Structure 1
Amino acid sequence: MNSKVEAYLTAKKENSSAELSKIFGEMEELYNKKLWHQLTLALLGLVKEPAMRQGTELISLYTNLIAELENKVNPLSLAQIAGEVITQHADPNEAVTFVERIIPKVRDHQEARVLSNVLIAQVTLSRLEDQARTKKILDETEKLLDEIDGVTPVHGKFYLLASELHCRTGAHAEYYRAALRYLGCIDLQDLDEEQRVKQAFYLGLAALLGEGIYNFGELLAHPILEALKGSSSEWLRDLLLAFNEGNINKFETMKPQWSTQPDLLAKENQLREKIRLLCLMEMTFQRKAWDRQLTFGEIARETGLPASQVEGDGDEGPVTRAGEGDH
């Protein structure tokens, strides 16, 4: 046994609680028998132990034990362990440097490399507050992510961080797409009730405020919206239904509720434009395929717009026939 490792494990066995002492004793046995897979699993469990999450215990664990095993530990597990260790680095730049030192050791494992980049981007966004650098890292990492087959937990971590970045920059449409992808990578039951309500609320806002988002069907069918039932934000689901139906009257009657949300109130004009367009699209697709001409009067009546605004330059007669694509 490496003398450094031996001294560390002995000290932890002698100076830890009975439960933790037992864990370190088992790890010592695994180390001596060179059972690297079993030892890796034990380490993944150890870094989650409350006693190890105090002070700089994880940094000490890495320095005295894991650093000696880096070439024996599964690369993805090594990156996962690094994600726990950096939470104890007080200096965010030290945390970034720590992960950067690990990247060469996991470079040949695509998931581990992606996770390492995500960890750096996470520190860069949340602790260094450098949005531009975070975006650059994520843009580069997405290319690596696209090369991974299937959906992995690493995909979830990537899209969660991407959604957090878009949320901070106010990029509603980008947030909406990233957040939906994140939810597609996880089991909703892994989120507590507060997290589910938060995800549902922000997704709903992003759908309403996002430029170019006119199809609410995917979100309305998503089980995440069930989290809004019984919450103080239950009205948001009703508002989404109103937009999905192009129901302008319902939108107007709900103003006392949605106007309490500052982002929606600030974009009131854009919201009206969106729901009027959805109303027009709904009017069109409710008609038979061979009868999709709408008069100015019909549009004015359904959208609540003055006839002069509908007619534009004052031409009379039916509106140009609507297209027959998706809406």
Structure 2
Amino acid sequence: MSPVVITAAALEHFESMATLHPDLSERYQNLADLYQRKLWHQLTMSTLDFVSDPSVTLRTTATGTNSYLVLFDRVISPVDKRLNQLALTRIASAVAFSLLDDPPYRDGVAARAILEGVLEKRDRLGPAAALHAESRLGLLSLTILARGGEALTTESSLRTLEEVKVTIDRNRPVLSELADTESEAAVVHSAFHETAMTYRKAVGPPEAYYREAIQYVSFTNLSDLSRDEWYHLATDICLAALTGEGVFNFGEIVTAPALRFLDGTDMHYLVELLSAGAKGDVLGFRRVADANADAIRMQPSLVSRAEAVKEKITLLALVNMIFERPSLERTLSFEDIADRVVVPVDQVEWVIMRALSLKLISGTMDQVDQTVDVHWVMPRVLNNAQISELATRFGEWAVKVSKTKDYMLEHTGALLNQ
């Protein structure tokens, strides 16, 4: 197709859409102006903003076709070599997902075809854009599977899940190489971890979902998702943190801005449970759990993992008890531990052994004297109060070091003068 024909088709689309949808005429006229002036970068970013804007209601052309699809086919695809390739894949992704949200034109096959068509040009895309396109294709497949209501035990659903898993495993090493080499790496990281997170939500386990979700949240702007989307994401992260095996660092999620979307909602008790766990407050955790017993019974993961959650909070109480002690005062009696973690004294030995086996602490236990000498406690994210306490301890340590130095200088001088 000649450049003249391509340009004519693009401008015709802009003009017809501006006429058909007057409230969007200014945006279409702006796109047409950028196209005519061959300002490809500006056209790319304006198109990306347009198709990604949640405030714009999805429209159709005069023939009833998805307008984003026609925009992509008539305007973007013919000049795709001149566009930023990562932005191109983001536009393609937005268009593909719009096909799933367009009731009169819902078409998962066409949606996949758009991203697969982009991926055919992998050599030109570069690693960042190719990884972004593959991630979005994987997420698209999972979304189609979820919206279709298909059981995850059918042959086609299992095949889809396996394809997504292969994509994730193949691209994870590529992702690490983009960290310092791509100015828009956060966009790629966000897309990759969203796909991995969605996959893990479908197949488990919760601790794997939690790890991917934490990464996704760290690379995603709050403005990129709606309040409802953040609400569901924050709920899932809280449940995964509480029930996930080996997830003990509650501080990294308790301090996350995403959890503010649960403020004042029916799920805020999950934040309270996590906060109590992060502080090692067993009694506080039980108070919140008792006050929200009915809501907790509505969460199958919390019900089925009740004993594991109880164990986790007990171990976190031990970890926090050790952290609060000065480094020279970390020989703990079984009785003190029993009081803090709220278990009978005859169960303290098991608690200590469990903490040692999970490498939450290291040390030696004296079963005769019923004490444990702790040499190390797991590092974790601290809240402001814990950081303040640590700063105070550093100050006290500095004073002790200074006094020791003065003592050594004084006695060294005295010995030299003898």
TM-score (norm 2): 0.68
1:269 positional shift: 0.6
Counterpart-to-counterpart distance in 2, 1:30 and 1:272: 60
Q: For the structure 1 residues 147 and 243, does the alpha-carbon distance in structure 2 shift closer, same or farther, using more than 3 Å as the test? A: same
Map of 1:51 onto structure 2:
59
Aligned counterpart, 1:305: 343
Aligned pairs for 1:51-200 within 5 A: 51-52=59-60, 55-87=65-97, 88=99, 90-108=106-124, 109-128=126-145, 129=157, 130-148=160-178, 149=180, 151-200=185-234
The counterpart of 1:268, out of the listed 287, 303, 306, is 306
- Over 3 Å counting, the alpha-carbon distance change for 1:290 and 1:126 in structure 2 is same
| Pairwise CA distance, 1:11 | 6.2
- Please point out which of 35, 41, 51 is paired with 1:37: 41
2:244 equivalent to 1:210: yes
Per-residue deviation, 1:284: 2.8
SS at match of 1:232: coil
Deviates more, 1:172-181 or 1:267-276: 172-181
Q: Output the CA distance in 2 between the equivalents of 1:326 and 1:103.
A: 43
2:235 is aligned with 1:201: yes
Letter in 2 for 1:134: V
SS in 1 for 2:81: coil
Bigger radius of gyration, 1 or 2?
2
* Distance change in 2, residues 1:288/1:38 (3 Å): closer
Of 244, 251, 274, which residue of structure 1 is paired with 2:278?
A: 244
Q: Judge conservation of contact 1:156–1:186 (CA < 8 Å) in 2.
A: yes
- SS of the residue 1:317 aligns to: coil
Task: Report the more deviating stretch, 256-265 or 136-145.
Answer: 256-265
> In 2, distance between residues paired with 1:288 and 1:152?
40
Q: Structure 1 residues 262-271 or 10-19, which shifts more?
A: 10-19
Aligned to 1:219: 253
Q: Which residue type is aligned with residue 41 of structure 2? A: H
2:4 paired residue number: 2
**Structure 2: runs of 5 or more not aligned:** 101-105, 146-156, 351-366, 380-418
Aligned twin of 1:13: 15
Structure 1 unaligned residues grouped into runs of 5+: none
CA distance in 2, matches of 1:75, 1:122: 19
User: CA separation in 1, counterparts of 2:249 and 2:241?
Assistant: 9
Deviation, 1:248, is 1.9
The amino acid across from 1:10 in the alignment is E
Letter of the 1:289 counterpart: S
Deviation at 1:266, TM superposition (A): 1.5
Contact 1:9/1:24 (<8 A) preserved: no
Aligned to 1:276, what secondary structure does the other structure show? helix
C-alpha displacement of 1:267: 0.9
* Matched residue type, 2:285: F
Percent of aligned pairs with the same amino acid: 28
One-letter code of the match for 1:131?
Answer: L
C-alpha deviation, 1:273, in angstroms? 1.1
CA distance in 1, matches of 2:47, 2:320: 57
Query: What amino acid does structure 1 have at the position aligned with 2:214?
Result: L
Contact 1:163 / 1:175 at 8 angstroms: preserved in 2?
yes
How many angstroms apart in 1 are the aligned matches of 2:44 and 2:323? 58
- Report how far residue 27 of structure 1 moved: 5.0
Cα distance between partner residues in 1 of 2:5 and 2:340: 81
Give the aligned residue type for 1:147: E
> Take 2:73 and 2:228, find their aligned partners in 1: how far apart are those partners?
36
How many angstroms apart in 1 are the aligned matches of 2:330 and 2:11? 78
CA contact (8 A) 2:322 2:377 kept: no
CA distance in 2, matches of 1:279, 1:70: 57
1:282 and 2:292 are equivalent in the alignment? no
Q: Given the superposition, is the C-alpha separation of residues 246 and 47 from structure 1 closer, same or farther in structure 2, using an over 3 Å criterion? A: closer
Of 373, 376, 387, which residue of structure 2 is paired with 1:324? 376
**Secondary structure, aligned partner of 1:322:** strand
The number of aligned residues is: 327
Greater Cα offset, 68-77 or 25-34: 25-34
Q: The residue matched to 1:70 in structure 2 has which SS?
A: helix
User: Counterparts of 1:24 and 1:61 in 2: how far apart (Å)?
Assistant: 10
